[in-house]
């Protein structure tokens, strides 16, 4: 039986294979079969890969630092079926809005294992989170310190909180996904003294219990060193705050941002390498500054779900401009995956049937939206295509569907979860009725 290439095996779901007919299969289901049953564009999520990644993180980190919680970042892909799997695997989860909280609640996700992030949480959202009994809230501004203290007082609650600090460390990723530098909307800057002020204010707020500090550098981070650099800086700050204000660092959260391979040539360090870098930095920092080793939490979003998801599109028109370019139009695009347009993100594209067939040609795969910037992949080598062929893009499981829009009044795609030859719908395709439902004449 033919097989996926080694490079493709790294970026496709763990269960992906080729069947005797030459079709790519995921979770024992052929892409062609799924497309004919559920239509295109279609997002296929592989349950085995989600569980595999959860276990890789759990074992990778707890082997290196026993008291580690793995906190899945819901925004990478929010879905109740996914949240159930995350809960079963024993992970924690973070949310950044009331909407993400609703998804966690719909899955019955244990409130104690939830952390509420975001740089501008509203009064209503905080109130909903407290009513749900949320485990942690990570505060991001002086406004939030005051607001949460007030909401908690009204409810007679003393809420456990972390403070998000900004360590002024550049993780060398895309500018739009860099979050821990001085010029950022996120977090209290240590460099300017804002973080010290925040620690003092939060410690003196009667209805807040400060349990620790958080930072998040950005995403995706292919280098290890920014983590240890930032961890050392923040632990040093924590020790100063202990001496000056009596801060007890019982919990420490150096965020997420762990990279994944989108194209075969550019693979990230293994999870164990991130785990070793972070655990060594935490231990040696605690040692250096005389801190007790805290409970550690890391927050992978992308790295849990990216590889689990594969997007499937059908080819429509093909435009050949001699000596210039071949444009292959598909039935999705920036409406279901805006990452190429927004971040110039790269994807691997494969034909779903006989993906490695000859002859090939270099093509640019574009979407159906009215923007010249609407593309999926530029200058990719594919077998010569016909209208009606199916294309798939692996590692589409993170930040595609959650950023999907109804631009050009398109309906957002269906999503299926596959396992052992079964496919179940976990989000139905939107309909024209859905589009009209919120508009009034």
User: Cβ of residue 209: shortest distance to ligand PLP, in angstroms?
Assistant: 20
Q: Could you please report the per-residue DSSP string of 156-214?
A: T--EEEEEEEE-----SS-GGGB-SSSS-SSSEETTTTHHHHHHHHHHT-TTEEEEEEE
CA–CA distance, 158 with 214 (Å, rounded to integer)? 19
Residue 141 found at the interface with ligand PLP (CB under 6 A): no
- Looking at beta carbons, which residue is closest to ligand PLP? 301
47 contacts 27 by C-beta, under 8 angstroms: yes
CA 433 to chain centre: 30
Residue 83 found at the interface with ligand PLP (CB under 6 A): no
3-state secondary structure at position 256:
coil
Instruction: Look at residues 261, 260, 251 and name the one whose alpha carbon lies nearest to residue 298.
Output: 251
Task: Calculate the dihedral angle through the C-alpha atoms of 342, 344, 347, 352, rounding to the nearest 10 degrees.
Answer: 60
Q: Which is nearer to ligand PLP, 220 or 355 (CB)?
A: 220
User: Cβ of residue 308: shortest distance to ligand PLP, in angstroms?
Assistant: 13
Judged by CB under 6 A, the residue of 299, 331, 336, 389 near ligand PLP is 299
CA–CA distance, 263 with 355 (Å, rounded to integer)? 15
Residue 76 found at the interface with ligand PLP (CB under 6 A): yes
Q: Which is nearer to ligand PLP, 27 or 171 (CB)?
A: 171
Judged by CB under 6 A, the residue of 256, 268, 340, 383 near ligand PLP is 256
Residue 258 found at the interface with ligand PLP (CB under 6 A): yes
**54 is a catalytic site residue:** no
Taking contact as CB under 6 A, which single stretch among the options 105-113, 266-274, 278-286, 299-307 is the one that binds ligand PLP?
A: 299-307
* The two structure tokens encoding residue 354: 């006989």
Judged by CB under 6 A, the residue of 219, 228, 337, 393 near ligand PLP is 219
CA–CA distance, 249 with 4 (Å, rounded to integer)? 47
Question: Locate tokens 């910037």: which residue?
Answer: 373
User: Cβ of residue 96: shortest distance to ligand PLP, in angstroms?
Assistant: 7
Q: Which is nearer to ligand PLP, 113 or 117 (CB)?
A: 117
User: Cβ of residue 237: shortest distance to ligand PLP, in angstroms?
Assistant: 18
Contact string (CB under 6 A) for ligand PLP, positions 187-216, x = contact: -----------------------------x
* The two structure tokens encoding residue 56: 């890789």
Give me Rg for the CA atoms of the chain. 23
Q: Which is nearer to ligand PLP, 256 or 367 (CB)?
A: 256
Binding site for ligand PLP (CB under 6 A): 73, 75-76, 117, 216, 219-220, 255-258, 299-303
Residues serving a catalytic function are 370
């Amino acid at each position: 039986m033919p097989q996926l290439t080694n490079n493709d095996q790294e970026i496709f779901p763990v269960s992906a294979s080729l069947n005797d007919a030459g079709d790519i299969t995921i979770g024992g289901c052929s892409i062609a079969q799924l497309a004919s049953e559920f239509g295109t564009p279609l997002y296929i999520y592989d349950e085995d890969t989600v569980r595999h990644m959860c276990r890789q993180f759990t074992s990778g980190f707890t082997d290196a630092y026993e008291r580690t919680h793995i906190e899945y970042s819901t925004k990478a892909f929010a879905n109740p079926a996914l949240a159930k799997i995350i809960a079963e695997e024993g992970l924690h989860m973070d949310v950044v809005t009331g909407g993400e909280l609703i998804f966690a609640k719909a899955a019955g996700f244990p409130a104690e294992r939830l952390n509420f992030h975001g740089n501008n949480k509203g009064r209503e959202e905080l109130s909903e989170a407290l009513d749900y009994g949320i485990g942690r809230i990570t505060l991001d501004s002086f406004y939030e310190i005051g607001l949460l203290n007030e909401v908690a007082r009204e409810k007679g609650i003393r809420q456990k909180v972390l403070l998000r600090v900004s360590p002024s460390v550049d993780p060398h990723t895309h500018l739009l996904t860099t979050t821990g530098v001085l010029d950022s909307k996120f977090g209290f800057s240590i460099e300017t003294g804002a973080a010290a002020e925040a620690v003092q204010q939060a410690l003196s707020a009667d209805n807040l219990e400060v349990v620790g500090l958080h930072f998040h550098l950005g995403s995706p981070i292919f280098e290890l060193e920014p983590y240890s650099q930032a961890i050392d800086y923040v632990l040093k700050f924590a020790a100063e705050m202990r001496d000056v204000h009596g801060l007890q660092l019982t919990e420490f959260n150096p965020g997420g941002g762990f990279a994944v391979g989108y194209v075969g040539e550019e693979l990230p360090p293994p999870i164990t390498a991130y785990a070793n870098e972070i655990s060594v930095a935490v231990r040696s920092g605690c040692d250096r500054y005389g801190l007790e080793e805290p409970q550690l939490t890391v927050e992978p979003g992308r790295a849990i779900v990216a590889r689990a998801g594969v997007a499937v599109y059908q080819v429509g028109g093909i435009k050949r401009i001699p000596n210039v370019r071949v444009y292959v139009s598909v039935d999705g695009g920036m409406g279901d995956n805006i990452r190429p347009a927004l971040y110039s993100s790269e994807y691997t594209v494969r034909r779903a049937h006989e993906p490695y067939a000859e002859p090939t040609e270099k093509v640019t795969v574009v979407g159906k939206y009215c923007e010249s910037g609407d593309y999926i992949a530029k200058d990719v080598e594919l077998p010569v295509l016909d209208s009606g062929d199916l294309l798939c893009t692996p590692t589409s499981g993170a930040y595609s569907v959650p950023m999907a829009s109804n631009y050009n009044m398109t309906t957002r795609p269906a999503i299926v979860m596959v396992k052992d030859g079964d496919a179940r719908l976990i989000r139905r395709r939107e309909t024209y009725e859905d589009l009209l439902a919120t508009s009034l004449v």
